[in-house]
A and B are shown apart, each in its own frame.
Chain A
């Protein structure tokens, strides 16, 4: 008999034996893993009428799934196994959803952030064990057609992974002398480098350091739009972009450029999100930054700059839109920015994205003595970013 745990989606815990699932508890709640895990383990043991020492091991789903919840199940499985002196039997969570299907299947789970996690399985051999031939992998929801366009697979959308089936699969693989799965979690994403330290007040570090939240408008002189050839793309900033950004900063804001040190600190900021626009040769032609501590509820557009030669191509607007998307993902219900009062084109751009004037700071931009217009955008239904 095995204890089986999966927290890659909701929380599911079971006791399984060679005759089938003996007891199971499953919740589709995608947040309550730490609360539910102890009670569920206790209840399935009680319902199965066994004591921990009777278990041969602990099967556990290794993902893919949102990391925070996924780890609760793996930590619990490892600690429980240590507690009874029995092995952990790790299983790729998708394998459990494919187990028992006789046809080729595509298992799909929600990876949040508008991405889906998926694995592709061939039809099983006579042993009935799932044969994963591709994945687990992540694909944006918008591009998911490319995955589903492979003909001949039945799509299986798994809202929860069933711990009973996962445990039965682990038992079957173990009895067949097979490795049950990977020893480490299937993360599929690199860690977000975003600090959310335990604190109550909103962190305003980068803005305070700068003391001069930026005229977020270098691309905002929008009077005439003329099509300019050449393609560009946005990507997350890399440390190696600092030289290019520093040069662009000096060229764009000659009277009040941020220092290289300040730029470096901004790019590496714990609560900031910086993007660069690059041309076909990956040369930086624009950049923009957001300050939005996760859970802080508020965000600031720190700066937007686009090279003079690359303006009027919608790059500033695209950077702004990308920052607003990130702000929403971080749960920032309000986003603030400041813009020079002598730049109505930029103000119009911001207004078009839902920003409204809330204040004027006299003579904010020095040495020019220009007022700053403070604008705010209320994000409808801002929600917390996941995993």
Chain B
């Protein structure tokens, strides 16, 4: 298998042993990698605590991070079979994400770095999702190693971003992102409209299984010619959500049952269609015949099916890392830090704070 490797200027370890901490949303992730080798990937989720509210509650997420973090670090060290003294660096997500949640990880990572005398690396969460694919694993789809440049489509409850990745440690460009809801959020909200529980993704999938995706044609956001001028690679899901709401209201007003299966299938089809249409347009426009999917919404089977089909038609090589590396995790953060170290990048300043809107061009904060 081929993997990205960098020269190691100044004797920097080509396969650095890094512990990575991720607390940007509702998952407390601690991972340990040695270069591209995955040694531990511990994830504690507070998702159940958010279920009754139908979405992630930042204060609940931040409280859960504080409870889970040190036990997760201990478990990751145990799983990897390494001691803190053996580490080459401590890495953490410093953004983008929920500010209060990020701060728990940043505070802990800095203190751990000072306590152990290890270098501190603050890393971009979104680039981390791409870095996950560097780790040796059996991908869900696609073979061989990650090749660059690639288009990356990152879809989760907090993000919907389209990236052009030329180099993981020095050249990542944001092509577009959602201008309102993240795709995962849209799933949650539509699930609620349909009376389905949180999180919405799996529930919509289940309901859509018996539905006809073509029975109701829901709008594809930002795909009209006038929108494509300004928002060629941006996404919008609030109009789609409104359309679903109107449909549901109309069905109820007419006194009939809401066709939940057809609505779910039509909604899911619209989301999947617009995600892949824009991602493949980027592949075509920029002459990059590679697409990487990341983020928790990759768990959606229909997204993977349609992606495989349409990438094959378009002659685009599709890669989807395994789910445990697609959802938020600490290993992907450690992976990027290991690449930064191999490329000879100096540690981050201890003064770096949490940045909820850290731009993707800032791979290291």
Contact = CB atoms under 8 A, between A and B. Distances in A.
Interface of A: 32-39, 41-42, 45, 52, 67-69, 71-84, 185, 187, 191-205, 208-209, 211, 259, 261-262, 265, 268, 270
Contacts of A37: 107, 110-111
A293 to B, nearest CB: 11
Given A75-B103, A76-B108, 18 more contacts: A34-B107, A52-B114, A52-B116, A71-B66, A72-B103, A72-B104, A75-B108, A78-B108, A79-B69, A79-B109, A80-B115, A192-B59, A197-B56, A198-B24, A202-B180, A211-B242, A265-B193, A268-B54
B128 to A, nearest CB: 14
B108 A79 contact: yes
B62 A38 contact: no
> Which of B24, B63, B350: most chain A CB closer than 10 A?
B350
Given A67-B62, A68-B103, A200-B357, A270 B55 contact: yes
B34 interface: no
A82 B73 contact: yes
Contacts of A199: 158, 178, 180-182
B341 to A, nearest CB: 19
Contact of A191 (B54, B59, B180, B195): B59
A38 B58 contact: no
B88 interface: no
A90 B24 CA distance: 26
Contacts of A205: 181, 189, 238, 241
B103 A71 contact: yes
Contact of B111 (A35, A67, A77, A193): A77
Contact of B114 (A38, A78, A209): A38
A37 B115 CA distance: 12
Contacts of B195: 261
B246 interface: yes
Contacts of A36: 351
User: In the complex, which range does the number of interface residues on chain B fall in?
Assistant: 35 or more
Among A41, A45, A73, A76, the most chain B Cβ lie within 10 Å of the Cβ of A76
Contacts of A52: 114-117
A195 B158 CA distance: 11
A213 to B, nearest CB: 13
Contacts of B55: 195, 197, 270
B103 A198 contact: no
Contacts of A204: 180, 238
Given A71-B62, A204-B238, A198 B357 contact: yes
A80 B114 contact: yes
Contact of B120 (A38, A194, A208): A38
A209 B98 contact: no
Contacts of A185: 63, 66
B296 to A, nearest CB: 13
B57 A194 contact: yes
A75 B111 contact: yes
Given A75-B111, A191-B57, A209 B351 contact: no
Nearest to A39: B350
Contacts of A203: 180-181, 238
B192 interface: yes
A204 B111 CA distance: 39
A72 B107 CA distance: 5
A37 B112 CA distance: 11
B249 interface: yes
A367 to B, nearest CB: 12
A60 B116 CA distance: 19
B144 to A, nearest CB: 33
A122 B114 CA distance: 39
A200 B179 contact: yes
Contacts of A73: 107
B106 A259 contact: no
A268 B98 CA distance: 20
Given A34-B103, A67-B62, A204-B180, A196 B98 contact: yes
A60 to B, nearest CB: 10
Interface string B71-82: 001100000000
Contacts of B106: 34, 72
B252 interface: yes
A67 B108 contact: no
A38 B238 contact: no
Interface in B219-242: 238-239, 241-242
6 contacts: A34-B102, A79-B111, A81-B115, A194-B58, A203-B181, A261-B195
B62 A268 contact: no
B99 interface: yes
B84 interface: yes
